[in-house]
Amino acid sequence: MPSLKDTKKRQAVSQSGPKSKKPFLDKLSSNDKTKKRSRPVTLPKEQNSDVTSDEEDFDEVENGAPGGLDDDDEVDEGAGPSNPSKVVDPNAARESHKAQKILFEQRRAAKPHSALLVDAKKAWSLARQKNISKDERTKYIHDLMEIVRGNVKDIVFKHDASRIVQTVVKYGSAKERNEIAVELKGKYQALAQNKYSKFLVTKLIRLCPSHRASILTEFQGNVRRLLLHREASSVLADAFELYANAYERSILLKDFYGKEASLFTVTMGSDEEKEKSKKGLKGILEGADKERRKRVMSSVKENLVTIFNNPDKGAVSHAIVHRILWEYLCTINDIEDEAEREKLRREMFEICQDVIAEMVHTKDGSRSVREFIVQGSAKDRKHIVKAIKPHVERMCIDDEAQLVLFTALDVIDDTKLTAKSLVSDIVGSASTLYTTPQGRRSLIYLVLPRTRRHFTPAQIALLSETDVIRAQTSKKDNTVRSEEICRAASEPLLTWISKNGPEIVRDPGGSLVVTEVMLYSEGDKAATMESILKPLASTFPSTDPANPHLLSLPHASRMYKTLLQGGHFSKATNAIDKSPLFSSSDFAKKFIETVGKDVITSMAKEDGVFVTAALCESIIAAGEDASESRKVLKEWLSGLKKELRKDTEQRGRTTLLEQLANL
């Protein structure tokens, strides 16, 4: 007699569909990738966010995870006794299982819509197969829709039936999705608070844009409560951050403005009301008198206090809360009375100062924290640094959170504090950071802030938003502050490169970091030069295809050329913008001394021709300071002129010949 385990295995195999068919699921999933909310930097790296819980829940079912006994599960007649050492009459066990099966069938039949669910699960087992064609899936989804039509509202709260409806929404056509959305009208608030059906609500918000506004409207009046609800919180967070447009977001935001704000808005659906709603709190307060403005601001503050006083509920990390906070701070800045502005800002900072790290990962949260840094006192800034210090590494690799770090470096006058609490942690994570674009920006900002080579105009504009205010709230000169930060970061960065030079240079992103650190850091760079030049002394070109010579790598070759030139080429001046903190002549002399004759002559004939030309140019520009190196280089390369002239069509050879003529 087959066991229950074997029976379920066969069911899982049969539900996977015929393997000979072209997999349709992979194609569909690649075209409809689920967006993910930005994750708070306070979450551990290995912890999964609940952003895609609906997909994970759905996949769990598809992979055959039982998740409890469903209505159509059968009791295994051949299962053995719970205590194998106890001798039991086989006939008695068989009779017992028959009785259990009869009782189970009776209980199932007594449940509402039991027959419908049995038919639905049979159709669902076909529709959710992985390896079936698009036409087959469409047919099965159509059959499944015929079964559940008109009863979706009654069965959707059951955990198994909810997954059935999710399948229809996920693979069905727009007509079927809209039909389900209409049938569930009036139930969305209850669905969002249900452990299983909340995933269905998120799917409908994502896949039914024509019904999104009406779904979100059902949450009005209870948004704050739902944000603090264990199940509904993620539904509202996904809707606001991932799928809603400006007007649809305003539907959720309106609850934070208080009941009075709702009374004074124009009738729902009018164009005028939509335009005002898109402006957020600013639009609500347009034309309001002083007393009404004060009442609305008080309501916003009260609602934010409720959220911040319940950090364990998770709503503190949601973008919708950060948007309200940012709107509140912007409105405070418009108040004419300076004392009143400072009082309201101070009160809000004291409310949320302990959850600052929960907000830095979103656009509005990052802007709010940067506003607190710029407007705050020295004590406030110290408190913020203390709050974010445990999460510096995670912040460095987050696009929004790293702006908070950069603002702290730009604004805080106490550079000893930032060097000890922020700079040391950034540099300490350098081996991890240089492998990502965000991490490289964090390292480069320490020595060369806001450079157009590594920061987009949009990022520079965001960082510049606080410049006007920091001129009033920070006492130290900006140039002096940047130099002190650079000085604090230089030695540990140079030490890091000295220890890991060859490995870092071999990485395309790592070579960018090495270039900027070498050019713009302060301190003795002799050991670092030797670290990145020593690998060049190996045979060129390399005989091992799996481990090419550094000069055969375009990014590494470009790095050595830039260092030999002493800076980057500037299109504005059509010349090399030399760094005053780096000696290209010292690097060129070290290059000749470390690399040696054989490699340099091979470079001139192979891939290193541009590097060789830059080497000659640097030695010539050094004049008398490099006279000995100039003689050595001329002796090594003078015999190559005839060979180089044979093929001047090769890129760089003409440039090299010009430099050799000047040696």
pTM for the whole structure: 0.84
Asked if 127 contacts 141 with a C-beta cutoff of 8 angstroms, the reply is yes
Strand partners, 569: 576
pLDDT in tens, 283-293: 888 877 888 88
pLDDT in tens, 509-559: 999 999 999 999 999 999 999 999 999 998 888 888 889 999 999 999 999
pLDDT of 44 over the 70 cut: yes
Asked if 633 contacts 616 with a C-beta cutoff of 8 angstroms, the reply is yes
State percent of the chain over pLDDT 90.
Answer: 61
pLDDT in tens, 365-384: 999 999 999 999 999 999 99
Asked if 168 contacts 180 with a C-beta cutoff of 8 angstroms, the reply is yes
Among 14-23, 550-559, 576-585, 592-601, where is mean pLDDT lowest?
14-23
CA distance 320 to 323: 5
pLDDT in tens, 641-661: 777 777 666 777 888 888 888
| Residue 12 vs residues 125, 141, 272, 559: alpha-carbon distances, Å | 10, 19, 55, 56
pLDDT of 427 over the 90 cut: yes
Among 48-57, 407-416, 598-607, 649-658, where is mean pLDDT lowest?
48-57
Average pLDDT over the chain, rounded to an integer: 85
pLDDT for residue 449: 96
CA distance 56 to 67: 13
